[in-house]
A = this chain, B = another copy of it.
């Protein structure tokens, strides 16, 4: 379920955090379902349990999971998270567009990229 890229410059705990975020946001991991235990996952990935713990702490901090004493960690409801993620993505998007404008990128260039990505699904927009 979780794969690690050892070539990546991202620290392991960041990679793990991001993978779970994606799984939760996409609904692959359902709300209130149980997360794999820190130890299980550590063994499975052959990674130091401290590293998994750090990823889980981050996920909890960001509201992706919630801990239940003595039972483990569980997936939060993702609807709020999706909105958060959308917002931060659009912020980042805006930052990029501002930078691009300074470099002389024209509006049409962005729209071309967007159109390609959205090709079929929204072609009648």
Q: Which residue of B lies closest to A118 (CB)?
A: B107
Bound complex: CA of A94 vs CA of B7, how far in Å? 23
A100 and B94 contact, CB distance less than 8 A? no
Q: Which residues of B contact A117 (CB under 8 A)?
A: 94, 97-98, 101
* Count of identical protomers in the assembly: 4
A121 to chain B, nearest CB (A): 8
Q: Is the interface of A mostly helix, strand, loop or mixed?
A: helix
Task: Count residues of chain A with CB under 8 A from any CB of chain B.
Answer: 47
Report Cα–Cα, A68/B6, bound state, in Å.
6
Q: Could you list 25 examples of A-B contacts with CB < 8 Å?
A: A6-B68, A7-B66, A9-B69, A11-B69, A11-B70, A25-B102, A25-B103, A89-B99, A89-B103, A90-B109, A90-B110, A92-B96, A93-B93, A93-B96, A93-B110, A93-B113, A94-B116, A97-B117, A98-B117, A106-B122, A107-B114, A107-B115, A107-B118, A110-B110, A111-B111
